Structures are given as C-alpha cells and as structure tokens.
Amino acid sequence: MAQPSSPMARISPLLWLAAAVVLCGLGFVLDTYQADLYRKLLLWITLALGFNFLFGVTGQIALSHFAFYGVGAYAMIILWFKLGVPFPLALVGAVAICAALALVIAIPTTRLEGFYLALVTLALAQLLIVLLRSGKDFTGGSGGISGYKLPAVFGAQVTGPWYNVVIVAVFLGTLAILVRLDNSYFGRACRALRDNPQAAAAMGVDVARTKVIVFTLTGVLAGIAGIAFAFVDNTINPDVFSVENAFMLLFMVIVGGTGRHAGAIIGTMLLFLANPILEPYIGHHSQLVFGVIVLSAILFQRKGLIGLYDRFVAPRFSRARGNQTR
C-alpha cells in the first residue's frame, strides 16, 4: 500500500529558504578539506534521492543511475571545453543528452524486472566506463579531462564556498521535485506499481509509461548533479563513475531506508562520512565497519535507519500532539 505523504511535503517555503541559507552558510565556516568533503556529500545525497525514487519508490532495481552522473559531467565538459560550444548551450545540451540517453535506455530495459533489470543496467554502466577509458583525446582516456574552470559570472569567479550555492540549489531543487512528485497522484501510482504491478495496472496505472518517465527523470537529475560535480575539482576521470560507486549508492539507500527521502539522506551521510571520519583512527579497518553497518541494516533493520525513527521517535511526537489537542 502507498505510504502517507511525507512530512517534507508540509514544509513551508520559509523553511526551505532557511535550509538553503544554512546549507550555503556552512561552506563559509569549513576549512578547505571539510568544504570539499561537504560539496561532494551534498552531491551524493542528491544522487541518493534520485536513486531512492527510482528504486525505493518505484521499485526499479536499475544500477545505471550513477552512470548518468558521469554522462552529465562528461557531456558538459566535452561540449564546452573540448568542442567550444558556448557555456549556456553546452549546459542545455548536456541535460538534453542525459534525457535522450535515459529515454533510449528506459524504453527497452524497463520492460525487465528485478534481477534481469539490475544485470542489464549494470552492464550498461560498465560499458560507459569502457567507452570513457577508450575515448583517447576525446574523453581523456583513463586520465580523464582537466585544466578547465567555471567561467566568470558578471566578472566574478564562482569558486570555493560560493560554488556551494550552486550545489545547494541542485540538491534542494532535486529534493523539492521528488517530494512534490511523491505526494502527487503520480507518486502514489509509482508506489502502487512497486507494491503490485498487476493491481496498479488494474487500477488504471500505465505501468510501462510510468517506469519510463521515472527512469528518464531520475537519469536527468543525476546528470544535472554530474554537471555540478564537474566543476568541484575541475577534473573528471572514469574512476569517479565506477560500478563500485553504483553499489555504494544502493547500500546508502538500503541503510537509510528505501522509499523515504529522509532515509536516503541519513544513509548517505552515514556511509559517505564513515570512511573519512574513522580512517584516521582505525585505518583501512574502516571498510570493515562499513560492511558491518550494511550487513546489520539488511539483517536486522529492513526498514533502514529511518525505521528506528518510526519505531521510537515518531510515536512520542504523535502522543505529544495528541495531548496538546485535548
């Protein structure tokens, strides 16, 4: 059955604005290393939100989501830096390439389900890496592309903490779109499709079209995040978009709680920050901790960490609100 609407849907515009100010402001108080980690964390969360909608809300186990992150980054830099296309047109072109590629892949692959869909999309993600590494001068090969920087805006260079504003806009824009969709008829159709495709079809949901729309939309959102990532370090290479990261994205959503936006955020923060926080103290054993976290979530907390909130914290808030209304 479809879940009730997310509390995020009830957040006022003022709170969205406050969140944007706080998230942007953090970039100005962190040191260089922390700020770089923070920018990449926000982009990982953005990716996880899109993948959560694809996998957790709609039930499509597609492992090509991270590949669109790479397509967006490479399409942007090749069009603008390699081919000399004006920056605004390159930006539009990169998004269009992501949309077209996602649509072309979605039409045949979304007819598959479960294990078969995962295998096909995993193969497509691996194919992208092979193409990037064998692209020679066009893609930079294994070394990737570097030596570029974001053009000045009104004569000012958008770098450092000021670039956080761009990334925060991408993150909050993605979150707002997905929350709005999730709490619409389309979102309810996606959840019905995930729970029982046959029943959803019987209720009038166009199963094939819904899958294609979600796959294409989340692919475009991942591509936009990839465009933003391309200017974080001003370098891109195939290793960043490896298949390993596709599985990392899957683990983040599972640990946080599939089908929940807050779960995707929590799971990404935990797994992304686990290694840089623990490694100075326990070295490479941080990978062991990572494995224990993922395994524990799968075995003992099927609803993810957000399930702990539902079990222990949410009932207290409900009782408190009930007492206030008496």
**8-60: per-residue pLDDT in tens?**
656 678 888 999 999 999 999 999 999 999 999 999 999 999 999 999 999 99
Domain count, the chain: 1
- Within 8 A by CB and 6+ apart from 54, the residues are 60, 62, 65, 214, 215, 218
Identify whether 289 is part of a domain: no
Q: What is the pLDDT of residue 144?
A: 94
Identify whether 181 is part of a domain: yes
283: left (phi over 0), alpha (psi -120 to 50) or beta: left
Identify whether 210 is part of a domain: yes
- Answer for the pair 232, 39: CB distance below 8 angstroms, yes or no: yes
Helical (H) or strand (E) element with 235? strand 235-236
Identify whether 250 is part of a domain: no
Identify whether 39 is part of a domain: yes
Q: What is the pLDDT of residue 10?
A: 62
Q: Cα–Cα distance between 95 and 22 in angstroms, integer? A: 28
Within a 10 A sphere around the Cβ of 236, how many other Cβ atoms? 26
Q: Cα–Cα distance between 5 and 191 in angstroms, integer? A: 12
Q: HSE-up of 26 (CA within 13 Å, CB side)?
A: 16
Range of the domain at 12: 7-240
Q: What is the pLDDT of residue 2?
A: 42
Q: What is the pLDDT of residue 107?
A: 93
Q: Cα–Cα distance between 95 and 171 in angstroms, integer? A: 16
Q: Cα–Cα distance between 66 and 73 in angstroms, integer? A: 11
Q: Cα–Cα distance between 50 and 214 in angstroms, integer? A: 9
Identify whether 116 is part of a domain: yes
- Answer for the pair 48, 301: CB distance below 8 angstroms, yes or no: no
List of the chain residues with pLDDT < 50: 1-5
Q: What is the pLDDT of residue 1?
A: 41
Residue 162, classed as helix, strand or coil, is helix
Helical (H) or strand (E) element with 124? helix 114-133
From residue 217, give the alpha-carbon distance in Å to each of 68, 173, 265.
Answer: 11, 13, 19
Identify whether 253 is part of a domain: no
Within a 10 A sphere around the Cβ of 97, how many other Cβ atoms? 20
Identify whether 254 is part of a domain: no
